[in-house]
Amino acid sequence: MTKVPCPICKTPVNWEKQADTRPFCSQRCRLIDLGEWLDESRRIPGEPAQIPDRTPDEDDGYRHD
Ligand SMILES: [Zn+2]
């Protein structure tokens, strides 16, 4: 019988028995993988959501040459 490791938890899975969830051992692992996928695709177009340390006000106050 063919066994494959679940991509998520590495549990050996009987490939033929797990037609619904393969290559995962369970629906849960399948959903975890799906969640990671969604997370990945969300990151691709994402810009770093970092707020600059200085506000424009503070920046203006810095210019005291
Ligand atoms: Zn698993």
pTM more than 0.75: no
For residue 45, the CA-to-ligand 1 centroid distance in Å is: 29
Omega prior to 52 cis, within 30 of 0: no
Would you mind telling me the total number of residues written for the chain in this entry? 65
Structure tokens at 53: 């340390």
Which is nearest to 26 in space by CA: 40, 11, 37? 11
pLDDT digits over 17-58, tens only?
656 787 888 889 988 888 876 776 666 555 666 767 776 676
For residue 33, the CA-to-ligand 1 centroid distance in Å is: 10
Residues around the ion ligand 1 (C-beta < 5 A): 6, 8-9, 11, 25, 29
For residue 63, the CA-to-ligand 1 centroid distance in Å is: 58
